[in-house]
Amino acid sequence: MKVRRALSLSALVLATCALMVGACGDGETVYIYVEAGGPGANKRDGTAILDDSGEDDLGSCDPVAVPDFTFIAPPAYQKLCSDQDLNSILLNCVFGEGTQATCDAAIEAAPDNCLECMAGAFDSNPARPLVRYIQESPFYASTGTCMANIVNDPNDECGNAFGQVETCAYAACIPACVGKTDDAKSACYDKAIGSVCTKGVQAFDSAKCRAAYTGKTYGFCISGDNPKRDAGGKKLNNLEYYTLVTQLACGSNPNPDAGAPVDAGKDGDAAGPDADAGAADADADAPPP
């Protein structure tokens, strides 16, 4: 039965270029592999997918069935990557600042389980802060992972519900919507929720979780606001957002005496490298949601 929702996924998280590293801009972007066969890098030029007639296929797309999975958030601050590891892998392997050689070097220099903590498939257990849904797509930041980590509770009901619904909707639509418009993709996400994606929807649409999603509970994870005290209301760009999301799950708490990560997230040292730290790529500079 289709669930009538007062709050749609796309109303909270714009699943367009803001969440997709490499989806906007004209430059080449390097993406790390997480599939079997070991890490490496590939390049994607972002050209449109053409149908058999040679015309751009930009029409509607419908969600596909998704294998059953359960979103399980990872614990916060697992101390598996240093800030330098995170920054190097993000810049060289995700944001197109490097080459395959520099990407491989960044991965090699990091601890063996750093990349495994940072990125994985949609059904990874536990979930990863960065998710790749098909080989041809860039990584998406996992809002649900960020939410559970920022409140320092892997069992957080609303964060896990958001993660379940978000991950399922993307898994149902990203393969089906290659080459489609952003509007078509957003429409597909909404179609997926309550049809092919039913697990977690009841909590996702509950009054409790809707209030949490639209309030300050999850900080920058949904708002995209820069948590630095001197940010002056500025939004995070993609590099800053991805740095914070991966740091929450895989890095070390920059302010361990402050308590929960949400407190540390407001600290000026928690926001990771600034956008001008070598992130000249348009995708890195793009604002997340």
More confident residue, 180 or 273: 180
- Ranges assigned E (strand) in the chain: 29-32, 41-44, 119-120, 130-131, 140-141
Q: Is 1 within a domain?
A: no
Q: Is 6 within a domain?
A: no
More confident residue, 7 or 127: 127
Specify the pLDDT at position 284: 58
Number of domains in the chain: 1
Residues 2-26 pLDDT 10s: 232 334 444 444 332 233 333 333 3
Contacts of 130 (CB under 8 A, 6+ apart): 94, 118, 119, 120, 139, 140, 141, 142, 242, 245, 246
> Which residue in 101, 190, 189 sits closest to 140, CA to CA?
189
> Which residue in 87, 108, 110 sits closest to 97, CA to CA?
87
> Residues 233-246: what's their mean pLDDT?
92
Q: Is 188 within a domain?
A: yes
108-122, 244-258, 263-277: range with lowest mean pLDDT = 263-277
Flag whether pLDDT at 145 surpasses 90: yes
Q: Is 50 within a domain?
A: no
| pTM score above 0.85 | no
Q: Is 85 within a domain?
A: yes
DSSP designation for 225: B
Tell me the pLDDT band of 39, cut-offs 50, 70 and 90: very low
Specify the pLDDT at position 256: 63
Specify the pLDDT at position 286: 52
Strands 119-120 and 130-131: parallel
> Residues 130-156: what's their mean pLDDT?
92
Tracing tokens 């800030």 back to the chain, one arrives at 83
Q: Is 102 within a domain?
A: yes
* C-alpha span between 177 and 179 (Å, rounded): 6
* Domain containing residue 26: 15-43+69-285
Tell me the pLDDT band of 201, cut-offs 50, 70 and 90: very high
Q: Is 58 within a domain?
A: no
For 197, other C-beta atoms within 10 Å of its C-beta total: 27
For 111, other C-beta atoms within 10 Å of its C-beta total: 14
Specify the pLDDT at position 228: 86
Q: Is 276 within a domain?
A: yes
Residues 66-89 pLDDT 10s: 999 999 999 999 999 999 999 999
The token duo for 2 is 């289709």
